[in-house]
Amino acid sequence: MKCVTEKSEDKIREAAKRVFLKKGFDGTTSRDIAKEADMNIALTNYYFRSKEKLFLEIFKDVLEEYFQNMLTILNKDIDIKQKISEIIDNDFAMMKKEPDLVIFIMNEIHKSPQRLFPDMSIFRQVRETYLKKQLEEGAANGTLRPMQLENILPLIKCGVEFIFMGKEIHKELFMMTDEDFERYAEEQKEHIKAMVCNYLVIG
Amino acid sequence: MKCVTEKSEDKIREAAKRVFLKKGFDGTTSRDIAKEADMNIALTNYYFRSKEKLFLEIFKDVLEEYFQNMLTILNKDIDIKQKISEIIDNDFAMMKKEPDLVIFIMNEIHKSPQRLFPDMSIFRQVRETYLKKQLEEGAANGTLRPMQLENILPLIKCGVEFIFMGKEIHKELFMMTDEDFERYAEEQKEHIKAMVCNYLVIG
DNA sequence: ATAAATTTTAAACAACCATTTAAAATATTC
DNA sequence: GAATATTTTAAATGGTTGTTTAAAATTTAT
């Protein structure tokens, strides 16, 4: 029955996502995935044609997961300070929930960019977001420093994502326990919010 | 002769660094390294005992390379605004010269932190840098916002490293060519300098 | 020049890799 | 309930992996 089919296929998909995120494409074997899904190895190639095809499907989902929540916030009709705060809070929550996601995306794209960009309509959606209009209006009426979306967006996102991507090295470098890092990350989050808002918003 | 010995060993070391940086530990085979060094496969295990041991040696060097220049600047007796500017310029130059270095370090540590931290005296050196004293003095006499080294340092570094680590995704997301990205990165560098200085330095 | 030490080589090792096969088990359709 | 279609299995494929071996080539020391 269709119900059963989807169950096995989804079990593999979910297991593959977990393993790929944790170990990367090169570090993951088909056997790893089968074991994580508690299924026979041959099934990964029965449902998906190859490790590569399975990976590409997973990667597309993961990339959309990365952008989707942010996109919703970017299009909200709210004050720009509030918007920056919400994006950062959302990023923060994402990094805590899925600590492997961003470094996984960055690393896989860095290693082989050409193979990982299907027609991602989400990219266009990000480019055409309502925040872009807010920036233009703010620059025009002098309330905001004139900046393009592509300049401000990385400034908003880099702070939180950087310290979480490098969580272990930051812990080691500054001799922090996990609890220390927890507090530290919260501090840092507020610094980033204040710093970016101070820079963008005039007066 | 010793001269010849060092030549082969160093050839392997340099080849291994290039390949590891580009493909990561999991993506690199002993044969890749031997081929890059133009030597017999068995030699990689003759000079270094295993792929793992060779990797650990390379990784230690790479991590020190990452911190060394920054450390020198951190200890300079110069104005703090100038210092921030120099750190960012230095980071920028490093990302252009070695585009794989930071994402490599981040990813390898993220995947297996415990195995990659030998006694790194450079970590202590970073913690005890002269910038720390400058921050304390500036906070005491009211010229600087009170911040710890561990809070300000990532803010200084994350901007440049983030956009270079994610160079390909930024190019794709904002439809930039390599030349576009070149200009964009320069813009971004100046934004980061201004933003961080404005935040840290009072008045 | 000869013996000893070092470096390089080709070949092989068992283990593991992604993927395929064909038969077995199960579910679906008539 | 028998025929058909789908799903799962164990086993095998050929190729690659990290590493080792033992002999050959080269360098060093006597």
Residue A54 falls within a domain, yes or no? no
**The token pair that represents A179 in the structure block:** 């609890």
Residue B20 falls within a domain, yes or no? yes
**Residue in chain A nearest B164 by alpha carbon:** A110
Residues 6+ apart with CB under 8 A from A19: A28, A32, A33, A36
Is there a single domain that holds both residue B144 and residue B77? yes
Identify the domain containing residue A35 by its residue range.
Answer: 1-48
Is there a single domain that holds both residue B135 and residue B196? yes
How far, in Å, are A149, A152, B149 from residue B103 at the CA level? 24, 22, 23
CATH number reported for the structural domain that contains residue B10 in this entry:
1.10.10.60
Contacts of A22 in chain B (CB under 8 A): 111
The pLDDT tens digits for B110-168 are 999 999 987 778 999 999 999 999 999 999 999 999 999 999 999 999 999 999 999 99
Contacts of A188 in chain B (CB under 8 A): 151, 154-155
Is there a single domain that holds both residue A112 and residue A184? yes
B134 touches strand D (CB under 7 A): no
Residue B71 falls within a domain, yes or no? yes
Contacts of A186 in chain B (CB under 8 A): none
D21 closest protein residue (CA to C1'):
B42
**Residue in chain B nearest A119 by alpha carbon:** B172
Residue A6 falls within a domain, yes or no? yes
**Residue in chain A nearest B124 by alpha carbon:** A173
Distance from CA of B8 to the nearest CA of A (A): 28
Residue A147's region, left for phi above 0, alpha for psi from -120 to 50, else beta, is beta
Tell if the CB–CB gap between B159 and A157 is shorter than 8 Å: no
**Residue in chain B nearest A116 by alpha carbon:** B169
B4 touches strand C (CB under 7 A): yes
In angstroms, rounded to a whole number, what is the distance separating the alpha carbons of residues A58 and A66? 12
Residue B54 falls within a domain, yes or no? no
**The token pair that represents B100 in the structure block:** 């794989």
Question: Which of B20, B55, B101, B110 best tests the A interface by mutation, with the highest count of A CBs <10 A?
Answer: B110
The pLDDT of B187-196, averaged and rounded, is 98
Is there a single domain that holds both residue A110 and residue A192? yes
Residues 6+ apart with CB under 8 A from A80: A131, A134, A135, A138, A144, A200, A201
Residue A34 falls within a domain, yes or no? yes
Is there a single domain that holds both residue A8 and residue A107? no
Is there a single domain that holds both residue A185 and residue A130? yes
Which pLDDT score is estimated for A6?
Answer: 58
The stretches of chain B forming alpha helices (DSSP H) are 2-27, 30-37, 41-47, 51-74, 80-97, 101-111, 121-127, 130-140, 149-165, 167-173, 178-200
Distance A17 CA to D13 C1' (A): 28
Distance B30 CA to D19 C1' (A): 10
How far, in Å, are B139, B164, B165 from residue B151 at the CA level? 14, 21, 21
Tell how far CA B122 is from the center of its chain.
13
Is there a single domain that holds both residue A44 and residue A107? no
Question: Which of A123, A150, A157, A190 best tests the B interface by mutation, with the highest count of B CBs <10 A?
Answer: A150
Is there a single domain that holds both residue A120 and residue A174? yes
In angstroms, rounded to a whole number, what is the distance separating the alpha carbons of residues A181 and A167? 8
CATH number reported for the structural domain that contains residue B109 in this entry:
1.10.357
Distance from CA of A4 to the nearest CA of B (A): 34
Confidence check: pLDDT of B176 > 50 = yes
Distance A37 CA to D1 C1' (A): 35
Q: Which among B202, B203, B185, B8 is positioned nearest to B89, based on CA atoms?
A: B185
In angstroms, rounded to a whole number, what is the distance separating the alpha carbons of residues A119 and A128? 16
A51 touches strand C (CB under 7 A): yes
Distance from CA of B123 to the nearest CA of A (A): 5
The pLDDT tens digits for B71-125 are 999 999 999 999 999 999 999 999 999 999 999 999 999 999 999 987 778 999 9
Domain count, chain B: 2
Is there a single domain that holds both residue A73 and residue A33? no
The pLDDT of B12-30, averaged and rounded, is 98
Is there a single domain that holds both residue B80 and residue B44? no
Q: Could you report how far apart the first and last alpha carbons of chain B are, in Å?
A: 64
Residue B34 falls within a domain, yes or no? yes
Residue B53 falls within a domain, yes or no? no
Tell how far CA B203 is from the center of its chain.
32
Is there a single domain that holds both residue A26 and residue A123? no
- Asked if B144 contacts B84 with a C-beta cutoff of 8 angstroms, the reply is no
Full pLDDT tens readout for chain A, 203 residues: 333 335 899 999 999 999 999 999 999 999 999 999 999 999 999 999 999 999 999 999 999 999 999 999 999 999 999 999 999 999 999 999 999 999 999 999 999 999 998 777 899 999 999 999 999 999 999 999 999 999 999 999 999 999 999 999 999 999 999 999 999 999 999 999 999 999 999 98
The helix-helix angle for A130-140 and A80-97 (nearest 10°) equals 140
Q: Which among B21, B58, B18, B56 is positioned nearest to B34, based on CA atoms?
A: B18
Is there a single domain that holds both residue A88 and residue A187? yes
Is residue B179 packed enough to be buried (19+ CB in 10 Å), middle (13-18) or exposed (0-12)?
Answer: exposed
Among B107, B117, B195, whose Cβ lies nearest the Cβ of A107? Answer: B107
